[in-house]
């Protein structure tokens, strides 16, 4: 859900990372549905993907033991650290200024995996698609997937949830990297294809541009742009309710 409220003359936009990336990386016309709190019916791919994530979390708990990370270890950039799967919450806070309006965007999420290795902060995100073949000829992830990884990489982190303001922390690093694994849920969740990249200046500019446009769209400052792709409308869960859908019949 996307929420808008005002505090101390600052307009605050709060959104899940999923809704943000889904809107800017896939279709901007999803934003009104997220603002109204309309939830699309979960697809079979979503349901099966959730089950696969739970399986991976259970596998890690059964086969690996993680020692608590101390503040000293966290602050020492030369120390490699790794957090338990699905246990780190994220919050990316971006202040913006539109004319006389001060705006704060808060994007809340939870990473599949975050760790620091050789002074590099790494976020790993796992995808469990129904149709692996759509990735066969791809040399990079889809825009929404890259946007999601970049959002996690530039967030504050917490291992205690969103409602503990004292629990948020940064992970010192010299570089940032993302890993997006496409995994085969029909074959023991084995990796089918792995995309990996470093965060570049251009990638960071893309993230900031996307957040700025997202805020403008949510506040009604700019108009939505259609992707004009029937291929995108066809599987969209909001299509039956969307007056802007492209008729694929």
DSSP letter string over 173-202? -SEEEEEEEEEETTTTTEEEEEEEEE--HH
Model pLDDT, residue 146: 94
Q: Is the residue at 248 inside a domain?
A: no
Residue 85, Cβ neighbours under 10 Å: how many? 21
Q: What is the pTM for the complete model shown?
A: 0.90
Cα–Cα distances in angstroms (integers) from residue 220 to residues 4, 6, 25, in the given order: 12, 15, 19
Model pLDDT, residue 47: 62
Quick: pLDDT tens for 51-75: 666 776 676 666 667 778 999 999 9
Residue 184: exposure state from Cβ atoms within 10 A (0-12, 13-18, ≥19): middle
Q: Is the residue at 249 inside a domain?
A: no
Quick: pLDDT tens for 15-43: 999 999 999 999 999 999 999 988 776 66
Which helix (H) or strand (E) segment is 234 a member of? Answer: none
CATH code where residue 35 lies? 3.90.320
Q: Is the residue at 84 inside a domain?
A: yes
5 Cβ partners below 8 Å, 6+ apart?
11, 12, 14
- Min mean pLDDT across 39-43, 94-98, 197-201 is at 39-43
Q: Is the residue at 215 inside a domain?
A: yes
Q: What residues pair up with 104 in beta bridges, in sequence order?
A: 12, 95
Q: Is the residue at 155 inside a domain?
A: yes
Q: What confidence tier does 197 reach under pLDDT thresholds 50, 70, 90?
A: very high
Model pLDDT, residue 249: 42
Residue 232: exposure state from Cβ atoms within 10 A (0-12, 13-18, ≥19): middle
- Min mean pLDDT across 173-182, 197-206, 229-238 is at 229-238
Percentage of the chain surpassing pLDDT 70? Answer: 90
Residues 152/86/183/34 CA torsion (nearest 10 deg): -60
Q: Is the residue at 143 inside a domain?
A: yes
Model pLDDT, residue 239: 84
Q: Is the residue at 246 inside a domain?
A: no
Residue 169: exposure state from Cβ atoms within 10 A (0-12, 13-18, ≥19): middle
Model pLDDT, residue 60: 63
Q: Is the residue at 157 inside a domain?
A: yes
Model pLDDT, residue 52: 63
Domain holding 36, by residue range, is: 2-241
- How many domains are there within the chain? 1
């Amino acid at each position: 859900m996307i929420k808008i409220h005002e505090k101390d003359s600052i307009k605050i936009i709060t959104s899940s990372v999923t809704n943000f990336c889904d809107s800017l990386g896939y279709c901007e016309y999803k934003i009104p549905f997220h603002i109204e709190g309309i939830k699309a019916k979960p697809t079979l791919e979503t349901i099966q993907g959730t089950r696969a994530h739970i399986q991976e979390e259970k596998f890690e708990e059964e086969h690996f033991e993680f020692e608590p990370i101390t503040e000293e270890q966290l602050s020492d950039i030369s120390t490699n650290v790794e957090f338990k799967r699905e246990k780190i919450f994220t919050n990316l806070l971006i202040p913006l200024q539109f004319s006389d309006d001060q705006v704060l965007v808060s994007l809340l999420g939870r990473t599949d995996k975050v760790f620091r290795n050789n002074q590099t902060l790494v976020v790993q995100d796992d995808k469990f698609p129904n149709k692996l073949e759509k990735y066969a000829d791809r040399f990079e992830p889809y825009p929404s997937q890259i946007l999601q990884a970049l959002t996690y990489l530039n967030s504050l982190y917490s291992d205690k949830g969103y409602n503990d303001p004292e629990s948020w922390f940064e992970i010192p690093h010299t570089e940032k990297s993302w890993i997006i694994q496409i995994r085969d849920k029909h074959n023991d969740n084995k990796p089918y294809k792995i995309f990996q990249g470093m965060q570049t200046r251009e990638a960071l500019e893309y993230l900031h541009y996307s957040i700025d446009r997202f805020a403008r769209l949510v506040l009604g400052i700019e108009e939505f742009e259609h992707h004009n792709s029937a291929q995108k409308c066809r599987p969209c869960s909001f299509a039956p309710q969307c007056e802007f859908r492209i008729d694929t019949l």
